Amino acid sequence: MSHGYRAVQWSRPKRVYDAWAAVGAAAFIGGYVVVGKALHGGERAISDEILFMRATGACALLLLHVILCIGPAARFVPRLQAVLFNRRHLGVLTFLVALAHGVVAVGYYHGFGVVGPLESLLTMNTRYGSLDGFPFQVLGLVGLVVLFVMAATSHDFWLKNLSGAAWKRLHMLVYPAYGLLVGHVALGALQEERTALAPALLGAGVAIVVGLHVAAAVREVRRDRGAAPADGDGEAGPWIDAGEAGSIPEDRARTVCAPGGERIAIYRHNGRLSAVTNVCAHQGGPLGEGRVIDGCITCPWHGWQYRAADGCAPPPFTEKVAMYRVRIVAGRAQVRATPCEPGRAPPPAMLEDGHGR
Amino acid sequence: MNRRLRRRHLAAWLIIGPAAAAVLIAGVLLQRSKARAAERPPAAWGARP
């Protein structure tokens, strides 16, 4: 979390994460080239440039699959949220590897003509009406441009200046870019394959990415439909039943769904219950899946923090999230469906025995 | 993520998923037809196709 523009603050965990990612990508590319050379010897030999092109292309596509799987997979396996923390670093690495692939490909196939490489790429083949011989390189170019825009705007500086909603919309372009890159591979490199391995791998990748996203989304829609029953006795919206108050673990939350579909996270800290919106002000992360660290509710996605007492980020940060009134009736927690103004702290509900244990 | 964003994600994948699958299947079918054509022995001179 940052309150002004600063270059990426390289903490030790970030350095370790980036080092592992870079070493992994380099090992993949090196291994691909070595194995490729061993498999394609003699008459079937492939030039070094083409092998490098294939290796970087495969590496970038694999990284893109990993990036796209992390989000929905973390919905099912919370431990994966640790990988989600620096997902943008993986995105930048993916762009760099894809750029290396693109530069070598354009130089190799379009770098020796009378027109410029980019002009050659865009004008040499214009058979857009035919699947056979489709200009697949253009699909890759558009995908690469999207990856560049995302890598260039990945810093929180852009998130803050573009606004969260605009930034999120911009970064959702990775989904159509993924479709374009699948088309780039299916109509390009796949056409040179003579075995079923590459089509099977790409098919499995598409099935996993799409299946995970749809499964996670359907699960969330089901949770939305299972909104807690409301008790309409209040002027500021109904009270929502949130289950037994004492069973919420210390420094953790229980998430309930308001009748309008928005989610509320009810946290227990120092024997008190307080309720905040489930949507982090940073990137909309699920606050209810985080925990209280140093008295602050900590988002599991990127570690943004808000005081459990008033929903405000600790100084010098200025972000606020909306809180909800919460009460305990006959041992059950109840939360108001209508949020308070961000920064306004309703009184917490006290568990009867102090810590409710 | 709020509900609107969750629905937007689902809608995006319900469009992109089938589109990606369709282009992949088209690519595989095209590749297989090319592979079959390459395996076919060349027609002898004067032979009827």
Q: How large is the ipTM?
A: 0.81
pLDDT beyond 50 at A355: no
- As a residue count, chain A comes to 357
A264 in Cβ contact with A258 (< 8 Å): yes
| pLDDT above 60 (res A272) | yes
Per-residue pLDDT at B19: 95
Q: Tokens at residue A211, please?
A: 């299946």
User: Smallest CA–CA separation between B39 and chain A, in Å?
Assistant: 11
Per residue in A195-249, pLDDT tens? 889 999 999 999 999 999 999 988 888 877 765 555 655 555 688 888 898 899 9
Q: Which residues of B touch A175 (CB under 8 A)?
A: 12-13, 16
**End-to-end Cα distance, chain A:** 34
Rounded to a whole number of angstroms, the distance from the CA of B1 to the nearest CA of chain A is: 4
HSE at residue A17, side-chain half, CA atoms within 13 A, is 17
Specify the DSSP class assigned to residue B12: H
User: Which residue is closest to A285 within chain B, CA to CA?
Assistant: B1
On whether any CB of chain A is under 8 Å from the CB of B10, the answer is yes
**A187 close contact with B: CB closer than 8 A:** yes
The fraction of chain A above a pLDDT of 70, given in percent, is 92
Instruction: State the pLDDT confidence band at A2, using cuts at 50, 70 and 90.
Output: very low
pLDDT in tens, A51-97: 999 999 999 999 999 999 998 998 888 888 878 878 889 999 999 99
For residue A264, the distance in angstroms to the closest alpha carbon of chain B comes to 11
* Neighbouring residues of A100: CB distance < 8 A, sequence distance ≥ 6: A52, A56
Place of tokens 């919905």: A75
Q: Tell if the CB–CB gap between B26 and A131 is shorter than 8 Å.
A: yes
Residue B22 in contact with partner chain A when CB distance is under 8 A: no
pLDDT at A6 over 70: no
* Averaged pLDDT for residues A300-304: 84
DSSP strands (E only) in chain A: 230-231, 239-244, 253-257, 263-269, 272-277, 291-293, 296-298, 305-307, 323-324, 326-329, 332-336, 349-350
Alpha-carbon gap, residue B49 to B46, rounded angstroms: 9
Residue with tokens 């606020």: A320
Give the pTM.
0.82
- pLDDT at position B46 over 70: no
Average pLDDT over residues A258-276: 89
Half-sphere exposure of A129 (CA within 13 A, CB side): 0
What is the per-residue pLDDT across A115-162, written as a single tens digit (0 to 9) for each?
999 999 999 899 999 888 899 999 999 999 999 999 999 888 888 888
Question: Stretch A257-267: mean pLDDT, rounded?
Answer: 86
DSSP at A291: E
Work out the minimum CA distance from A355 to partner chain B, whole angstroms. 31
Residue that wins the pLDDT comparison between B43 and A308: A308
A186: left (phi over 0), alpha (psi -120 to 50) or beta: alpha
Tokens of A142: 């558009």
For residue A144, give Cα distances in angstroms to A31, A137, A150, B16.
Answer: 24, 10, 10, 18
Q: Do A203 and B24 touch (CB under 8 A)?
A: yes
Task: Write out chain A residues lying below 8 Å of B2, CB-based.
Answer: 262, 279, 284
User: Which A residues in the span 10-39 are in contact with B, Cβ-Cβ below 8 Å?
Assistant: none
Q: How far apart are CA A229 and CA A87, in angstroms?
A: 37
Cα angle A95-A81-A203, degrees, rounded to a multiple of 5:
55
B chain contacts of residue A214, beta-carbon cutoff 8 Å: 10, 13-14, 17
Check B27 against A175: CB less than 8 A apart: no
